[in-house]
Structure 1
Amino acid sequence: MLSAGALRAHLLAARLAGPVATSREESLRSYRLFAARDPRVLLGLDPDWGWDEGDLLRLMADKCGVSADPGHVTGPDVIDPERTLAALEAFAGRLRQVAQARAPVLFGTGHPHRLLGFYASLTGALSAAGCDVLTPAQGRAVDVSTRFGVREYTLDYVRGVALVREPGSRPPGSATGAHTHSPLPVRVALGTLADAGGPLPELVVGDHGWVCGAGQLGFEAIGLADTDDPALFVGEAEGRVSVTVPLDDGVRSDYYRPLARYVLNRASLSA
């Protein structure tokens, strides 16, 4: 069993927490864009409060441990590993409750190259515990706005985890998908379930638009977020996201395996 101390050491060694690869410049730019209500960083969230850059910096300092000094504008950003551990505990607790209730769940990621394995470990354990891991709208086309214009992607599932890919780029079920922040895939998935009369997920798990898009629609959502993704933390502050785990979401995929083992253990689930 991986102890909290061992996981803390891993978080720092793998740069999942502590000084991370996400730069201070990237984070501050995201806060500026969020304050301007730029949809690229809102991730499907429609904030109730009037968040300005200072509000966001204070929130991220509280939730992630980034520097609250607005004069600190360069260098790597920082995530406090104790905040990551505390959020992972809450994340695991919610999974444990869902498993005990054998409730339906929906998983999706905008970071399939990095986080697919982490989520797939959780889907396997929840399925074994009797939860219905939902896979609605598989093969459906989703038009996503990108910096290159609107592009058509296809919604697919790998080991119970939703992702999007360019049509024809890979066979269905392959592990390679597109990096996206869009909330449109989760809206399509949830809309398909609603049109079919359910079942609807009791919990949505993921990142980026999967979490914020679901939370905005009133579904309970939990997920992972980096220092340049303030939307999930705003969603948590406003009550539309239940748990946001601060960590670097772009390191090597195998670095997330100890986190998956830790979460499964704390959730009393078997891998």
Structure 2
Amino acid sequence: MTRAELVAHLLHRKLAGPAVPTSRQQNLRSYRLFGQGDPAALMGLDPELRWGPGTVLELMAERCGVRPEFSYRQGPDRIDPELTVDALDRLAGLLRATARRRGAVLAGTGHPGRLTGFHTALARALEAAGCPLLTPARGARFHEPTPGGRLPRTLDYLGPVAVVRGLDDGRAPVHTHSAQPVRLALAECREGLPALVLGDHGWLCGAGRLGIPAAGLADSNDPAPFVAEAEGTVAVAVPVDDGAYPACYKPLSDYVLQQADLAPYKD
């Protein structure tokens, strides 16, 4: 897949482009909550600098390509597909370096209905290159603070990718911004910490805050990974809409593995 073909795919599926599904209202609300220190918006990050809504907007315009005008308050917002591919190239370089030294890998997602396949493809390709895949703390239980109260959760794995299951709704994998799962997993790495954490949401920010190289996908309404990248805590944050059908992300993982000189994972 060429760069131009991937850009065309991103535009066609609205993973990036001039009018992505995440609205301007959603973006600005998230930037405001991040500036106010809302735990869900911080995703486990403890920023070194002070980030107000205007400063966050400036950064997100630079890293994601959202519209920079603070006066633009509602309507569609954008993600620059060229910035997406640039970040995917950086992710490929990180995977290539990890494979070269056969570093251990931990993968996890707070978007189990959307991004599990993307992380699985990268993790399995690294495994085939000689990287051990870690699956620590399977079955560990914790309580996640939510607007509805503290909900019981458990850490589980779908293949090589960690997910959080709810204990009050049939144990279905749940969407989460929490960094608690990656903290639990890293605390149980008895044979040494991973060389790389692949993930999103709290998996990125939580691992990065603990000094573990972390990389993955992040939407334009999730400023924490991009702030962490700017502060040097997260290695790579790829700007892309994170709410599309899972199959939409296969060309992205194929492209990353191609650029990393890794054999593509075949399910």
Shorter chain as denominator, the TM-score bin is over 0.9
- 8 A contact 1:124–1:159 mirrored in 2: no
SS of structure 1 residue aligned to 2:251 = helix
Look up the match of 1:8.
7
CA offsets 1:149-205 (integer angstroms, 9 cap, x no match)? 11111111112000011238668xxxx511000000000001111xx3x32101111
1:200 corresponds, among 177, 186, 193, to: 193
Look up the match of 1:252.
245
- 8 A contact 2:152–2:168 mirrored in 1: no
What CA distance in whole angstroms lies between the structure 1 residues aligned with 2:38 and 2:169? 30
CA offsets 1:240-271 (integer angstroms, 9 cap, x no match)? 01111000000111100111110110111112
Show structure 1 runs of 5+ residues with no match.
Answer: none
What CA distance in whole angstroms lies between the structure 2 residues aligned with 1:133 and 1:205? 11
Look up the match of 1:59.
59
Counterpart amino acid of residue 180 in structure 2: L
Look up the match of 1:229.
222
What CA distance in whole angstroms lies between the structure 2 residues aligned with 1:108 and 1:264? 18
What CA distance in whole angstroms lies between the structure 2 residues aligned with 1:142 and 1:106? 19
Tell me whether 1:104 sits opposite 2:89 in the alignment.
Answer: no
What CA distance in whole angstroms lies between the structure 2 residues aligned with 1:104 and 1:212? 19
How much is the aligned-residue C-alpha RMSD, in angstroms? 1.2
What CA distance in whole angstroms lies between the structure 1 residues aligned with 2:139 and 2:169? 13
Structure 1 residue runs of 4+, over 2 Å off? 167-171
Tell me whether 1:211 sits opposite 2:204 in the alignment.
Answer: yes
TM-score where L is the length of structure 1: 0.95
SS of structure 2 residue aligned to 1:270 = coil
What CA distance in whole angstroms lies between the structure 2 residues aligned with 1:165 and 1:23? 28
- 8 A contact 1:123–1:159 mirrored in 2: no
CA offsets 1:220-248 (integer angstroms, 9 cap, x no match)? 11111111100000001111011110000
Look up the match of 2:177.
181
TM-score where L is the length of structure 2: 0.96
CA offsets 1:72-116 (integer angstroms, 9 cap, x no match)? 111121000000000000001101110111100110100010001
What CA distance in whole angstroms lies between the structure 2 residues aligned with 1:167 and 1:131? 32
What CA distance in whole angstroms lies between the structure 1 residues aligned with 2:100 and 2:73? 45
Look up the match of 2:39.
39
Counterpart amino acid of residue 83 in structure 2: R
SS of structure 2 residue aligned to 1:78 = strand
What CA distance in whole angstroms lies between the structure 1 residues aligned with 2:237 and 2:207? 14
- 8 A contact 2:218–2:239 mirrored in 1: yes
What CA distance in whole angstroms lies between the structure 1 residues aligned with 2:212 and 2:178? 17
SS of structure 2 residue aligned to 1:112 = coil
What CA distance in whole angstroms lies between the structure 2 residues aligned with 1:203 and 1:6? 28
Look up the match of 1:156.
156
Q: Taking every aligned residue pair, what percent have the same amino acid on both sides?
A: 52
Tell me whether 1:92 sits opposite 2:92 in the alignment.
Answer: yes
Tell me whether 1:262 sits opposite 2:255 in the alignment.
Answer: yes
